[in-house]
A and B are shown apart, each in its own frame.
Chain A
Amino acid sequence: MSSKTLVYILKRMLLAILTVWIVITVTFFVMRAVPGGPFMGEKAITPAAQAALEAKYGMDKPLFEQYTTYLSDIVTRFDFGPSLKNRGRDVIDVISDGFKTSIPLGLSAASIALVTGVILGAVAALRRNKFIDKVIMVITTAFVSMPSFIMGSLLLIVFAVKFPILPANGAAEGGLILPIITLALYPMAYITRLTRSSMLDVLGQDYIRTARAKGVSPAKVIFKHALKNSLIPVATYFGPMLAYIVTGSLVVEQIFAVPGIGRAFVSSITDRDYPMIMGTTIVLAALIVIMNLVSDILYKVIDPRITLE
């Protein structure tokens, strides 16, 4: 790894840290702008709890001091304060509980999207303008135009209500199948289109013709030369894909009643559980920023042709 690469990585890491800090700051001050302050939920809370919260965050202290306390609690102890709705539980406990369901859900959706997307994209590119290519393109175009909540609801109607072959409740056994499919469809369609166009690009390159001309078997040309090189642009999509899966899981978990972090976040919005909204936003934002960072660095590292600024 050259020193240029290292400088690039350091720069990106600094930007990522800055971004997370800005998210925390914006979240904090935006929440303080809510009429009545962040601890005035829709549900009345006991005066004792109110007093405890205000003491904990030193609401009587100057705003800037409250901010530094909040920030240092997060940085040193991952402490986002107590949740208002879930009495007696800390926000971070609710979040880590939610992750136990959400991480397997997100990871399976991502891997399914990746594998099927690459296969479909490669098939479409190799059979360019043939029937199968057109079918794949029409279906993927339809999928990228459908919001995730609509996709989820339609799947729910078809596979759980009209033909009850899969459970509608995400907490039941096998209940994660439909949410995983729902979450995977959009990134799958996107990766298919990405792979197809980059594969078409690669197939037109001189080194493919050279490989064919010197008698390399078609299978080897496809897998070793074409597919490998056409996967590089797909690496840039890792970050946005995770962002999509995180935001998509908010509604998908809601539709299928999956007890994950997305559902906790959505109900915290409805319940106006502000410490929970703040905490979840910060954790999810940090997750997305980190994934974007990893995906960018990966992209620069795996393709030596890409020059760094």
Chain B
Amino acid sequence: MNKRPFSMQVDLDMFTPASDADKEYLVKMRPSSTFFKDGVKRLMRNKIASISLLLVVIVALASIILPMFWPYSYDQQLGLQPGKPVDPSFNNLAPFEYGRTEMKMMEAGEEVFPHLFGTDALGRDYFIRVVYGTRISLAVGFFASIIVLLIGMTIGSIAGYCGGKVDLVIMRIVDIIYSLPDMLMVILLSSVLKVSLGPVIAGTVLEKIGSNIISLFIVFGVLYWVSMSRLIRGQILSLREQEYVLAARATGAKAGWIITKHLIPNSISVVIISTALQIPNAIFTESYLSFLGLGVNAPMPSLGSLASEALKGMSSYPHRLVIPALVISVIVLSLNLLGDGLRDAFDPKLNG
């Protein structure tokens, strides 16, 4: 204990060279954790988010892998054999029932792969249609979000970097598109594009994807970039003025260092999160449009079009409606929960 606490005399003990043990103590205690590792750790600690992530991964993998070795395809009408009349016994099968020819084959001792969810009104295996529809819905959601991200990022960063008149003009346009009733515009544009795109894309690779999905992408690209570009512009504007950027600049950091070490890590999380939250939104929109008959082109299924087709035979075959409905809800719910979890884990500013 210092006997004279107010003495101005220097305590020489405080100036002895540090021992190795002291130095060891000051060296970092554990391997340094990057921003990304930190976020992943936080995400994994969040039970709801990790379960949702697992569900999304399982559903996505199943929708990609299952159609590869499934004995039936999504557009194959089982009752329709080349050179023979249509066999209606394959239509509207209940789960685990078999068509007439399949019964005969089974009596002869052959193995017939069961129709897990039965068949639809045209005798197509319903299970593989649901799997394929899930794939389409996920793909549409994913690509629509990527399109929104690319357009929004380009325009938002132009507005943020240039500032001044360019910023003003872009932001006025954004305000106007933002105030348009989006769903009505989506319906209007897709009902027109559906008709007019057909001849334009005929004969190209795009024809395979179908005019409806292309028109959906166009509509998303035209209407939904606005919130993304607003977000990115705001990020750029506010980050440029942050004290730590000023501090980095004051200590002599170069522009490249500031951008890679400060601006990108701080804005990328927000961008990824809102892209992740855009995916369920796009799936929602696609299923809604499919329900109105503006979704994917037949015979391609999507979860929305499967549900809307099932509505006609609802009282006799309710499972055909319930299954795609359940799949959509599970996908959208887990993507939403995952997005929330990502936001909690990767946005340090919201951790208060």
Query: What residues of chain A have their CB less than 8 Å away from a CB belonging to chain B?
Result: 15-16, 18-19, 22-23, 26-27, 30-31, 33-35, 141-142, 144-150, 153-154, 156-157, 161-162, 243, 246-247, 250-251, 254-255, 266, 269-270, 272, 277, 281, 284-285, 288-289, 292
Cross-chain contact B292 with A250 (CB below 8 angstroms): yes
Q: Do residues B183 and A30 form an inter-chain contact, with CB atoms below 8 A?
A: no
- Asked if residues B292 and A269 are in contact (CB atoms below 8 Å), the reply is yes
Instruction: Report the minimum CB–CB distance from B283 to chain A (whole Å).
Output: 9
Which one, B59-67, B163-171, B204-212, B313-321, is touching chain A? B313-321
Known: A30-B192, A250-B292. A153 touches B325 (CB 8 A): yes
Q: Taking A142-B329, A288-B181 as contacts, is the C-beta distance between A22 and B176 under 8 angstroms?
A: yes
For residue A253, give the distance in angstroms from its CB to the closest CB of chain B: 12
Chosen A-B contacts, 28 in total, with CB atoms closer than 8 Å, are A15-B175, A15-B179, A19-B179, A23-B185, A30-B188, A30-B189, A31-B192, A33-B196, A34-B192, A34-B196, A144-B336, A145-B332, A146-B325, A150-B307, A150-B328, A150-B329, A153-B311, A153-B325, A154-B321, A157-B314, A161-B318, A246-B181, A247-B184, A269-B292, A281-B185, A284-B184, A288-B181, A289-B179
Asked if B333 is an interface residue, CB under 8 A from chain A, the answer is yes
Among B178-228, those with CB < 8 Å from A are: 179-181, 183-185, 187-189, 191-192, 195-196, 199
Identify which of residues 147-179 in chain B touch chain A, using a CB-to-CB cut-off of 8 Å.
175-176, 179
Give B305-340 as 1s and 0s: 1 = Cβ < 8 Å from A's Cβ atoms: 001101100110010011001001100110011000
CB distance from A171 to the nearest CB of B (A): 17
Residue of A nearest to B199 (CB): A35
- Is the CB–CB distance between B179 and A150 below 8 Å? no
Are B328 and A147 interface neighbours, CB within 8 A? yes
B287 CB-CB contact with A under 8 Å: yes
Contact A147 B179 (CB under 8 A): no
- A23-B185, A243-B183, A285-B181 given. 7 additional CB < 8 A pairs? A15-B175, A15-B176, A23-B180, A147-B304, A149-B308, A153-B325, A285-B185
Chain B residues within an 8 Å CB radius of A255: 311
Contacts of B74 in A (CB 8 A): none
Report which of B199, B288, B294 forms a contact with A149, defined as CB distance below 8 A.
B288
* A199 CA to B185 CA, complexed, in Å: 35
The complex places the Cα of A93 from the Cα of B179 at a distance, in Å, of 27
Chain B neighbourhood of A33, CB < 8 A: 192, 196
Residue of A nearest to B195 (CB): A34
B291 interface residue per 8 A CB criterion: yes
Q: Chain B nearest CB: distance from A227 CB in Å? A: 25
C-alpha spacing A210/B195, complex, angstroms: 64
A147 touches B288 (CB 8 A): yes
Q: Does the CB pair A157–B322 fall under 8 Å?
A: yes
The answer to whether B292 touches A19, judged by C-beta atoms less than 8 angstroms apart, is: no
User: Which 10 A/B pairs are nearest by Cβ-Cβ distance?
Assistant: A145-B333, A247-B183, A150-B325, A288-B181, A145-B332, A19-B179, A149-B291, A285-B181, A161-B315, A146-B329
A153-B325, A154-B325 as given contacts; A292 in contact with B179, CB under 8 Å: yes
| A145 CB contacts on chain B under 8 angstroms | 280, 329, 332-333, 336
Inter-chain contact B180/A277, CB cutoff 8 Å: no
Whether B293 sits at the interface, judged by CB under 8 Å, is yes
B214 to chain A, nearest CB (A): 15
State the CA gap A156–B336 with chains docked (Å): 26
Are the CB atoms of B188 and A153 closer together than 8 Å? no
Cβ contacts B277-292/A at 8 Å (1 or 0 each): 0001000100110011
The CB with the most chain A CB atoms within 10 A, among B184, B284, B304, is that of B184
Bound Cα distance A31, B195 (Å): 11
Contacts of A277 in B (CB 8 A): 188, 191
Q: A145-B336, A150-B328, A251-B292 are in contact. Are A16 and B195 (CB under 8 A)?
A: no
Which of B288, B328, B332 is close to A251, meaning CB atoms less than 8 Å apart?
Answer: B288
Distance (whole angstroms) from the CB of A262 to the closest CB of chain B: 10
Residues of A within 8 A of B184 (CB): 23, 246-247, 281, 284-285, 288
Chain A residues contacting B179 (CB-CB under 8 Å) are: 15-16, 19, 289, 292
Whether the Cβ atoms of A153 and B321 lie closer than 8 Å is yes
Contact B287 A147 (CB under 8 A): yes
Neighbour of A147 across the interface among B188, B284, B322, CB < 8 A: B284
Q: In chain A, what residue has the closest Cβ to B334?
A: A145
Q: What chain B residues lie within 8 Å of A161 (beta carbons)?
A: 314-315, 318
> Which of A31, A150, A277 is packed against the most chain B CB atoms within 10 Å?
A150
Partner of A285, one of B180, B195, B314, B333: B180
Q: Closest chain B residue to A148 by CB distance?
A: B288
Cβ-defined contact, B314 with A243, below 8 A: no
Q: How far is it, in angstroms, between the C-alpha of A33 and the C-alpha of B307 when the chains are bound?
A: 31
CA distance A269 to B307 in the complex (A): 19
Closest residue of B by beta carbon distance from A22? B176
Residues on the A chain within 8 Å of B310, using CB = 153
The residue in chain A whose Cβ has the minimal distance to the Cβ of B284 is A147
- CB-CB under 8 A from A288, the residues of chain B are 181, 184
